Chain A
Amino acid sequence: MKNHVWRPLYLVLGFIALFLVIRHFLVPKDFGVHGKNFTYGFHRAGNIQEWQAVPIKYHGRESCNECHPENVAANASSKHAPIQCENCHGPAMNHPDSPEKLPIDTSRELCLRCHGALSTPGSQRSRIKGIAPDSHNPGTPCTDCHNPHKPDLEGIR
């Protein structure tokens, strides 16, 4: 056959070979079908371990109880018992190493998440005691009068 046929053919074959070589080095070894089938399970297997290794930030009240049992117990006997410590105190992260002290959210906005009065017929929200934030001691932090660990009126400051 003529030279002008062979030369582009060699070029194409060369490109294919180059593509295969590059692909061999770029695509990770664990790439393949690992799940249900090709459509849903075609991926890099190592990524699952990468996701599992993400550090945990919220440790739950059991973890708080190890050092602060009196506060956990006080809250547990109140109406706020179902609220996790970290909802107001922030995620523990690596506390007490870092951060050494957790910033407590004592803003009105935090309390208003549940106790801001809304007209919500058909929702549990209407069963929680709510205030109108504009008329109920505006500007004053709720914690000036109410104890979040003892929210009943007998715990008022």
Chain B
Amino acid sequence: MKCSRRDLLTTALKATVAAALPIAAFRFLSPAEVRAAVADPALRWGFLVDTEKCVGCGFCVKACKLENEVPYDTPVSRTWVERYIVTRDGQTHIDSPMAGRDGFTDPKVRDEAVDPAEITKSFFVPKLCNQCDNPACVQVCPVGATYQTKDGVVLVDRDWCIGCGYCIMACPYGVRFFHPVYKVAEKCNFCYHRISKGLKPACVEACPFEARQIGNLKDPEDPVTRIVMTQRVAVLKDEYGTKPQVFYIGLDRNVR
């Protein structure tokens, strides 16, 4: 095969044009356009839990279960309160009877008496869905039944969920459970029906001690955002890389 210089150049030119054609099909977006296409930058729901203020009354759990029609007498709940009792021997006793629905009235932990003189610290930690920025539960859904909205809340499509339970396994926080009535995956969604109408989630409203707060993390003037930005807050299981958006004040190292 012979190839003159002229042939080489014309072929190379044609090849370059041909290769450039598919690139021309792409649109080059400005950073602002990309941000607008990816998510609404004005709103990102975040949550703040002040464990110092929680007294373990369980009104949040009661309100959550009634507001979101989670069967009241089942042990599952979208939100729950844990009691931690650390004793002098270094042991941690943890319980959450009926998810803390009826509060904590019994000094016994799971039918085991703890000597009050031995208790070094004891406190309550409310838990709920962290509405992660990188939700592991959404990644594993095989049918696209769970997803993250543009304002950062992870929802479950009850019509589309096949009930395989992958997401329940994937959540490192144990937030998801199987809904006893609808037979699909169920989780806290910050009371999406309330927050999208300008109301607070049922648990936030029910809390008499302001241990639970919700806010818009994209708004620097929001009280929750101010606290998250200016005070010392922690998140649960940071090492999983899920980027949880529920921030805790006064989190103890015993809290898992």
B-contact bits for A115-150, CB 8 A (1 contact / 0 none): 010111111110010000100000000000000000
Of the candidates A35, A44, A119, A120, the one whose C-beta lies within 8 Å of that of B160 is A44
The main secondary structure of chain B at its interface with chain A is loop
Q: Is A119 a contact of B192 with CB atoms below 8 Å?
A: no
Q: Is B193 a contact of A121 with CB atoms below 8 Å?
A: no
Q: Is B208 a contact of A118 with CB atoms below 8 Å?
A: no
How distant is B175 from chain A, measured CB to nearest CB, in Å?
16
Of the candidates A37, A41, A84, A112, the one whose C-beta lies within 8 Å of that of B103 is A112
Q: Which of A11-19, A52-60, A65-73 contacts B (4 or more CB under 8 A)?
A: A52-60
Of the candidates A40, A86, A133, the one whose C-beta lies within 8 Å of that of B148 is A40
CA distance A50 to B149 in the complex (A): 13
Q: Is B192 a contact of A52 with CB atoms below 8 Å?
A: yes
Q: Is B53 a contact of A113 with CB atoms below 8 Å?
A: no
For chain B, the count of residues having a C-beta within 8 Å of the partner chain is: 57
Q: Is B196 a contact of A87 with CB atoms below 8 Å?
A: no
A-contact bits for B194-238, CB 8 A (1 contact / 0 none): 101101001001101110000000000000000000000000000
Decide yes or no whether A9 CB sits under 8 A from chain B. Answer: no
Interface size class of chain A, counting residues whose CB lies under 8 Å from the partner chain: 35 or more
Residues of chain B touching chain A, judged by Cβ–Cβ distance below 8 Å, are: 38-39, 52-59, 62-63, 66-68, 102-107, 114, 116, 119-124, 134-135, 138-139, 144-150, 155, 157, 159-160, 189, 192-194, 196-197, 199, 202, 205-206, 208-210
Can you sample 21 A-B contacts with CB below 8 Å? A31-B144, A39-B138, A40-B148, A44-B159, A51-B155, A52-B193, A55-B193, A56-B193, A58-B202, A60-B205, A82-B209, A109-B105, A116-B104, A118-B56, A119-B116, A119-B122, A120-B124, A121-B120, A123-B52, A123-B122, A124-B54
